Amino acid sequence: MATPEDSAGILKVYGPYVVGTRWTFETEVPDADAFAERVRGVLRGYPWLVHEDGDGGAVLGYAYASPAGERAAYAHSANVSVYVDMGRRGEGIGGGLYGELLRRLEGYEIYTLYAGIALPNDASVGFHKSFGFTEAGLFHKVGFKLGEWVDLLWMERPIKDYSLKAGHAGGKPHE
Local confidence pLDDT in tens for the 175 residues of the chain: 999 999 999 999 999 999 999 999 999 999 999 999 999 999 999 999 999 998 778 999 999 999 999 999 999 999 999 999 999 998 999 999 999 999 999 999 999 999 999 999 999 999 999 999 999 999 999 999 999 999 999 999 999 988 876 665 455 554 4
User: What's the pLDDT score for residue 138?
Assistant: 98
d(CA 103, CA 169): 19
User: What's the pLDDT score for residue 173?
Assistant: 55
Residues in CB range of 139: below 8 A, 6 or more apart: 151, 152, 153, 154
SS3 35: helix
User: What's the pLDDT score for residue 175?
Assistant: 42
103, 134 contact by CB (below 8 A): no
User: What's the pLDDT score for residue 14?
Assistant: 97
Give the global pTM.
0.90
d(CA 34, CA 38): 6
**Quick check: bond before 47 cis, omega within 30?**
no
d(CA 43, CA 50): 12
CA atoms within 13 A on the CB side of 11: 17
User: What's the pLDDT score for residue 159?
Assistant: 94
d(CA 100, CA 144): 32
Residues in CB range of 36: below 8 A, 6 or more apart: 4, 5, 7
